[in-house]
Structure 1
């Protein structure tokens, strides 16, 4: 992965800057990983509901017939892209600083970016990549964007969780950043999604004191396979996903409903099939929160 922080850039050359006149009343949502899968369908859904979307992506939106609506929204300034390899703290910091300068507020932050890898891979900071991207980075995004959330209407953070961690037999907080074994889907991927859900639970009271609500949402089984893209799913899971899992718009709807639906006044909860459930290993939530907060304060903040 590239560590060139210059890649974290905002695409502004094609944006109609007239959106700035309506920022005071316009509903705004940030979506990480907005360019494909559930994130792409969530972006479409938010646009249909009248939101402007801040897209925090590693990749551009594909320029094809299926994405004509997306590119129309880009031209109109209803989507604003900030690009970075989110697992690289230098690029992430550059993108977040640009967001804080260019954007006045956001009403919802959807921490959705993720990946499923086929082998043990380390981030530029030297930690297991699932954990960095899907547990630590959402914490950094949330902490850094608290001023924008506070300036929004009913600041809300939504995590894309997963039912994969239901299959974990054990959960060791100390091994999250450097696991001793690797298994597809129900290894570091599942552990990282659980850790994400647990720190949200532990941090919820602190965030509520700052008028920010946080919830984790399992989007359910969605077909997010992409042509010519490697997958970290076992073969049986890829076959099952291709033929039997729902279109990503299903997961997008669950994330959206998790933000604005029946449980919008509750914080720290995990929603599965749009109903609250207790996550596993809840007794380790505080330890996970302490771990990600330590990384944020000891590694990320000193970069400033």
Structure 2
């Protein structure tokens, strides 16, 4: 980052190559932010805004498979070596998968990407966040979390059954919001504000991939859901309004919402912290 850019705010967005993450990157760039994009896939090559921002280094990109800890460690090292601060971290990477899949570490993929990896990235980039202005971490959650009927923290990594959207996907988003709420007071004591935000319903279906969505939901999305710019604005507004909410708040439609199964927050936080300290760090 050059000296002349020190007054510009810096956002790091995971999963910024398509959908809500891509639109969030475009939105923040238009508003004068510097954006660090952390993706598994390449950015669109025909986007004039992104290409122009890449040339001026207002947009900087890093590539890695976040579900593979070897790849994640490498890209975290690259970011720490080349960046000087992060003001807002948007843990947005992930998706809704169509079948039961597992990460290289052997955990269910929704849980790995949506629940565990955001905790790892937050910890790995904490030093950059502490150099930032009003450092904030936003986890992309979902209103699907409100539809969870039963939650067993011990089965998140290896569920006994699979259901599209309302199975491991919803469980993992709820688990993200629960550890965020549980850890928020400790993070705030260090100067970092945590919250999770529901971007609402968005038509993020790509022609080549409908994701793990039931057919009726796909039809509803195509016909009635707004474009991903809608969700991007909600994430942006969530971070901008973080000071209005208590630490760890789950924000939906701009307002704080109660979380189900709050009694499981401590157990889920212990799980992700143990994975980070006993697996991710020790194998590095």
Coarse TM-score class (shorter-chain normalised):
over 0.9
Shift of 1:20: 2.1
Shift of 1:290: 0.4
Shift of 1:231: 1.3
Specify the alignment match of 1:118 in structure 2: 98
**Equivalent residues of 2:195, 2:242 under 8 A apart:** no
Cα distance in 2 for partners of 1:265, 1:238 equals 33
1:78-126 Cα deviation digits (max 9, x unpaired) = 1111100110001011001111110000000000001111110000101
Specify the alignment match of 2:9 in structure 1: 27
2:73 aligned residue (71, 75, 93)? 93
Cα distance in 2 for partners of 1:219, 1:263 equals 18
Cα distance in 1 for partners of 2:211, 2:119 equals 25
Specify the alignment match of 1:250 in structure 2: 230
**Equivalent residues of 1:52, 1:79 under 8 A apart:** yes
Instruction: Note the 1:170-249 alignment, pairs <5 A.
Output: 170-249=150-229
Cα distance in 2 for partners of 1:250, 1:266 equals 24
Cα distance in 2 for partners of 1:96, 1:135 equals 18
- SS at structure 1 position matched to 2:2: helix
- Structure 1: state its 5+ residue gaps: 1-18
**Equivalent residues of 2:193, 2:242 under 8 A apart:** no
Shift of 1:263: 4.2
Specify the alignment match of 1:269 in structure 2: 249
- SS at structure 2 position matched to 1:115: coil
Specify the alignment match of 1:8 in structure 2: none
Specify the alignment match of 2:43 in structure 1: 61
1:288 aligned residue (256, 268, 272)? 268
Cα distance in 2 for partners of 1:108, 1:193 equals 20
Specify the alignment match of 1:15 in structure 2: none
Shift of 1:230: 4.3
Instruction: Report how many aligned residue pairs link the two structures.
Output: 284
Change (3 A) 1:278 1:289: same
Cα distance in 2 for partners of 1:270, 1:216 equals 5
Shift of 1:25: 2.2
- SS at structure 2 position matched to 1:153: coil
Specify the alignment match of 2:85 in structure 1: 105
Normalising to structure 1: TM-score of the pair?
A: 0.91
Cα distance in 1 for partners of 2:59, 2:87 equals 15
Normalising to structure 2: TM-score of the pair?
A: 0.97
Cα distance in 2 for partners of 1:20, 1:302 equals 35
